[in-house]
């Protein structure tokens, strides 16, 4: 039992991931000065803290709560002395400040300004709400609660619903260093995929025989159907890994990740085929813009766009999305068909356009604010949910 003079901080992190376990060093408890909680990880890299099932999952443009709770023993601690800090942890063990609060004083950092708020669901609630979630918000977050000399931390993984797609530019295969691959994905309304995102895509059937950069600087590629030209036929299926490569000197393709759209991709119906320049102008005249590759993949994934007509995209490639495979539309598997980068003067194709839903964006922001306001009025509660692990 701790002495009353020490007033140690008891911290409980609600992290919606898979199986859980927390280890505490007896030697740290015997010191009587500070309790250190060692958060363990399993082989999958999932954070292991409590027994709650599932994941913290949302999509681009959505709102999500990163759950985190704490309480004190004894409980008569001045709330003004409690410091809550949220940071984002990158794979290179760098930390990006997100949010900090000391009593009633709060500060939000960088791209999170105007989008991150304390949930304020009662005493001991350090949870934050992120609204209008972006692709860049994906990743691992640390919740740190400090009371004078006492502090504890927990981790929350924010996952996004989305789709991974391989990408290479007009110049051809294996032309991108890491920074060029990162830029190429951004230009296609996407980000470089993580290993876990690529692995999930492989589990869902992604098979691609060209290696590409991932966001951690590694180079990998997914093989669902082993064959000699893709690492030998007698090797098992899986995600092939070249390891971490030189980010400036070596060149590969890219694996990009995108999520739900705030808008709609559609095939522009015309009486005649158009070249690239005419395609761009046609979308503009229709109140839209030529769709990016990531937008077409997102429309195929979430909008279930199915069109057996090849069309220009903004990067000059020709593609078309197939949800229901048929023999005359490129084979037996669903996916986005890629016909490459033809001469931009060819009048052989239609065009896919993207129209942003500005009304929905404005309405979504208002809806999120109303949700936050209702959360702040929620009845205060000092209780800890039954499925939480109390760390002492």
Of 160 and 54, which is predicted with more confidence? 160
Residue for token pair 């991150």: 116
Domains of the chain (ranges, CATH numbers): 46-160 (2.60.40.10), 162-258 (3.10.100.10), 261-356 (3.10.100.10)
Report the pLDDT averaged over residues 185-214: 97
What is the C-alpha to C-alpha distance for residues 316 and 326, in angstroms, rounded to an integer? 26
Q: Per-residue confidence at 75, pLDDT binned at 50, 70, 90?
A: low
What pLDDT does 232 receive? Answer: 86
323, two tokens = 């949800």
Name the one residue in this structure whose structure tokens are 């009304």: 359
pLDDT value, residue 122:
83
Average pLDDT for 79-88? 89
- pLDDT of 25 reads 35
Pairing mode, strands 95-102 and 82-89: antiparallel
Biggest distance spanned by C-alpha atoms of the chain: 82
Q: What is the mean pLDDT of residues 64-82?
A: 78
Q: Half-sphere exposure of residue 174, counting CA atoms within 13 Å on the CB side?
A: 8
What pLDDT shows up at residue 121?
A: 85
Which pLDDT score is estimated for 73?
63
CA distance 390 to 392: 6
Burial class of residue 229 in the structure, from the number of CB atoms within 10 Å of its CB (0-12 exposed, 13-18 middle, 19+ buried): exposed
What average pLDDT score do residues 50-78 get?
A: 74
pLDDT band at 1 (very low <50, low <70, confident <90, very high): very low
Round the CA-based radius of gyration of the chain to a whole number and report it: 25
Q: How far is CA 361 from CA 8, 249, 261, 263, in A?
A: 44, 41, 10, 9
Each residue's pLDDT tens digit, 244-262? 999 999 999 999 999 999 9
Find out whether 12 and 20 touch, Cβ atoms under 8 Å: no
Q: Cα angle at 138 between 163 and 124, to 5 degrees?
A: 140
Half-sphere exposure of 272 (CA within 13 A, CB side): 5
In angstroms, the CA 267 to CA 311 distance is 8
Pairwise CA distance, residues 37 & 22, whole Å: 7
DSSP 125-142: B--EEE-S--GGG-EEEE
Give just the sign of the alpha carbon dihedral 117, 186, 225, 209.
negative
- Return the SS3 of 180: helix
Asked whether the beta carbons of 214 and 192 are under 8 A apart, the reply is yes
183 Cβ contact list (under 8 Å, min separation 6): none
Question: What DSSP line would sit under 234-300, residue for residue?
Answer: TSPSEEEEEEE--TTT--BEEEEEEE--SEEEEEPP-SS-B-HHHHHHHHHHTT-EEPPHHHHHHII
C-alpha distances in angstroms, 4 versus 9, 73, 86, 121, 382?
A: 12, 8, 28, 27, 20
Average pLDDT estimate for 11-18: 40
Q: For 116-160, what is each residue's pLDDT tens digit?
A: 999 988 888 899 999 999 999 999 999 998 887 677 888 899 999
With cut-offs at 50, 70 and 90, classify the pLDDT of residue 374.
Answer: very low
Average pLDDT in the chain: 81
**% pLDDT > 90, the chain:** 64
E strand or H helix at 156: strand 150-160
Position with higher pLDDT, 46 vs 68: 68
DSSP H helices, 77-216, are 178-187, 195-203
């Amino acid at each position: 039992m701790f002495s009353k003079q020490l007033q140690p901080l008891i911290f409980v992190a609600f992290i919606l991931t898979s199986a859980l376990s927390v280890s505490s060093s007896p030697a740290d408890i015997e010191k009587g000065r500070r309790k250190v909680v060692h958060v363990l990880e399993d082989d999958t890299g999932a954070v292991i803290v409590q027994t709650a099932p599932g994941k913290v999952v949302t999509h681009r443009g959505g709102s999500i709560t990163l759950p985190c709770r704490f309480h004190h023993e004894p409980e008569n601690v001045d709330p003004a002395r409690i410091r809550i800090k949220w940071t984002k942890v990158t794979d290179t063990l760098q930390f990006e400040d997100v949010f900090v609060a000391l009593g009633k004083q709060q500060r939000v950092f960088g791209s999170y300004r105007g989008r991150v708020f304390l949930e304020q669901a009662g005493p001991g609630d350090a949870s934050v709400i992120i609204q209008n979630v972006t692709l860049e918000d994906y990743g691992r977050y640390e919740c740190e609660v400090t009371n004078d000399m006492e502090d504890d931390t927990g981790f929350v993984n924010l996952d996004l619903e989305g789709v991974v797609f391989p990408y290479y530019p007009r110049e051809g295969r294996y032309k991108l260093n890491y920074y060029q691959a990162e830029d190429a994905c951004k230009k296609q309304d996407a980000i470089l995929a993580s290993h876990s995102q690529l692995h999930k895509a492989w589990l869902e059937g992604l098979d691609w025989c060209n290696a590409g950069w991932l966001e951690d600087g590694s180079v990998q590629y997914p093989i669902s159907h082993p064959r000699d030209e893709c690492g030998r036929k007698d090797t098992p299926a899986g995600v092939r890994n070249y390891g971490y490569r030189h980010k400036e000197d070596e060149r590969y393709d890219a694996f990009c990740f995108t999520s739900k759209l705030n808008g709609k991709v559609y095939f522009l119906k015309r009486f005649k085929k158009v070249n690239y320049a005419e395609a761009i102008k046609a979308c503009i005249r229709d109140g839209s813009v030529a769709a990016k590759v990531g937008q077409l993949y997102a429309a195929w994934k979430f909008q279930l766009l199915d069109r057996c007509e090849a069309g220009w995209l903004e990067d000059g490639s020709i593609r078309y999305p197939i949800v229901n495979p048929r023999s005359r539309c490129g084979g037996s598997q669903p996916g986005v068909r890629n016909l490459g980068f033809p001469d931009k003067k060819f009048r052989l194709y239609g065009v896919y356009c993207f129209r942003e839903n500005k009304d929905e964006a404005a309405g979504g922001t208002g809806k999120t604010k109303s949700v936050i306001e209702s959360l702040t009025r929620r009845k205060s509660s000092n209780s800890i949910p039954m499925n939480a692990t109390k760390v002492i």
